[in-house]
Amino acid sequence: MKVSIVIEQDEYGYYAYAPELPGCHSQGSNFEEADSNIREAIDLYLETLDPAEISNFTSKNIYTSSYEYVGA
For 30-71, the pLDDT digits (tens) are: 999 999 999 999 999 999 999 888 988 887 777 878 888 998
Which CATH architecture describes the domain 6-58?
A: 2-Layer Sandwich (3.30)
CA distance 22 to 34: 18
* Residue 23: pLDDT band with limits 50, 70, 90: very high
Q: What is the pTM of this model?
A: 0.81
Domain map (residue ranges) of the chain: 6-58
Q: Please spell the DSSP secondary structure of 30-50, one letter per residue.
A: SHHHHHHHHHHHHHHHHHTS-
Distances (CA, A) of 55 to 6, 8, 62: 20, 26, 15
